Amino acid sequence: MSRVRIEAGDFHFIGVLEEEKAPRTSKWFQSLLPFRSQVIHARWSGEALWTPLGDLETGLSLENQTAYPASGDVLFYPGGISEAEILLPYGSTSFASRAGQLAGNHFMTIITGRERLAELGNHVLWNGAMDIEFDRLD
């Protein structure tokens, strides 16, 4: 079980990769670590943050996909009808874009710090983009 440290400002989380349910996505994401970017508030998905990845080509397809992730279920959308992205839900979420409903690969689940996800989401909603870093914990 591979664990990932997630930091955004004063917010600290630990996630576990869903290596059995989303093996290709988990392996791909591990190859990016440490991964640094910014999160912004999702425009269409409800209570979620996202990291736009543009026209990133990964060769990944859908696995362990969902359109209705729970708080702390981190998704990767490999692109298609919308740009590639990482979605970090902190509350009620229906994954979508301006093109309509999407489904993303649930490849990581936050297991520590989950109780602060809504606080992070509201901080980004009212204060704007935040730097975020994902890195190996083990």
How high is the pLDDT of residue 80? 87
- Helix H or strand E encompassing 25: helix 23-32
d(CA 36, CA 126): 22
- Helix H or strand E encompassing 119: helix 117-127
Span 85-111, mean pLDDT? 95
Bridge partners (DSSP) listed for residue 66:
104
Sign of torsion over alpha carbons 34, 90, 97, 102: positive
pLDDT per residue over 24-34, tens digit each? 999 999 999 99
CB 121 within 8 A of CB 48: yes
Q: Which residue has the higher pLDDT, 82 or 19?
A: 19
Span 34-42, mean pLDDT? 96
Which SS3 state, helix, strand or coil, does residue 116 take?
A: helix
Residue 11: which residues within 8 A CB-CB, separation 6 or more?
113, 116, 119, 120, 123
Average pLDDT of the residues of the chain = 95
User: Which pTM does this prediction carry?
Assistant: 0.95
